[in-house]
Amino acid sequence: MRRLTVAVERFPIAGAFTISRGSRTEAVVVTARIADDAVGAAGWGECVPYPRYGESIEGVAAAIEAQADAIAAGLTRVELMERMKAGAARNALDCALLDFEAKALGRPAWKIAGLSQPTPATTAYTLSLGTPESMEEAARKAAARPLLKVKLGGEGDPARIAAVRRGAPDSRLIVDANEAWRAETIEANLDACLAAGVGLIEQPLPAGEDALLGQIARPIPICADESLHDRAGLAQLAGRYDAINIKLDKTGGLTEAVMLAHAARARGLALMVGCMVGTSLAMAPAMLLASFADYVDLDGPLLLARDRAPGLLFEGSTIHPPEPALWG
C-alpha cells in the first residue's frame, strides 16, 4: 500500500532575496513523499507555499496530508486534478506521483509525461531589488552570465535598470516588476527598459488591474505571471500579454503545466518556465518543460546558501537535467 509522508524543510538563502513585496533570508519548502514497499519504489515532490496566493506552510502541509487515504487507495494524477485546486499543495503531490510512477515502472518521467528528453538549458540568474548602486554592483558580479532577471519595485525603476545595464553591458536582460508599476508610471518605465535593451517585462501591473496593457503600445513583450495560474485564465490574457510564466506551484504540478504549455503555444504566446525560490527538487520536474520555453528561469538553487543533495548540476548558468537519484 502506498504511504504518504509530508515534511517542512528550511534552506538558507545566500544573503537575502528581495522583491517589491518584501525580503526573505530562507526558503521554506514542503515535500510530499509517496512510497510502496510492495513495489519497492518511492517518489517525491517539493512545493513552495506563497502568501501572495493565500497559501501558508501549515495550510499547504495540511492539504497534502488530507490526501493520504486517497494516495493509499491508488489516486492517479488525473484524479488529483479533480480533487484539488491548482496551487502548491497539488504541485508537490503531482510531482511525487510522477516520480513514483517513473521509479515503479523503470521509465523516465519525461516519457511518462509525453515529453521529449530534456537537455541542458541556460537559466536566468535573478538580481534582487535594491538601490541602483547595489544593483549595479550585483550586476557587475554577475556580468559573465548570459541572461539576468532584474527585480524591480516601482518608484525609481528607470535608475535601477540603467544601473544594471551599466554593470552588465553584455548580458540579456529581463525584468520582473512583481505588480509594482502603476498606470501613471508604466510608459516611463517601458521607455527606460527599451533604452536598456530589455527583452521581456514580467507582470508590470497588478493582476486584475492589467487591462491597460491592451490599450498602450508594448514595444517590449509583456509576460504574465501573477495574472495567470492555469489554462482557465488563458482567455483573459488576450490582447494584454505576449508571453506567460509557467510555474508548477501555480499550475498545481507538471501535469497541468504541460497542457498549459500546449494551449499557450496554440494561442501564439511565448513561454517562460519559472520557479519560486526552492531547491533542486522543485526545479527538476520543471526542467522537463525547458524545451518548450523561450526563457528558462530555474535559478532557485543558485540563490541558496545550501541546496539539497543530490541536487541539479549547474555549470555557470547552464542547468542540466535531473538524475533519477534526485527525481524522475
Instruction: Give the residue numbers marked as catalytic.
Output: 151, 247
Positive/negative CA dihedral, 113, 115, 120, 125: negative
Q: How many CB atoms lie within 10 A of CB 139?
A: 24
Q: Report the C-alpha gap between 101 and 328 in whole angstroms.
A: 9
Residues in a beta bridge with 23: 18
Residues in a beta bridge with 244: 224, 271
Q: Report the C-alpha gap between 325 and 120 in whole angstroms.
A: 17
End-to-end distance of the chain based on CA atoms, in angstroms? 21
Rounded to a whole number of angstroms, the CA Rg of the chain reads 19
Q: Report the C-alpha gap between 174 and 143 in whole angstroms.
A: 14
Count of positions (residues) in the chain: 328
3-state secondary structure of 234: helix
What nine digits make up the cell of 133? Answer: 548602486
Q: Is the peptide bond before 146 cis (omega within 30 degrees of 0)?
A: no
Q: Report the C-alpha gap between 237 and 242 in whole angstroms.
A: 8
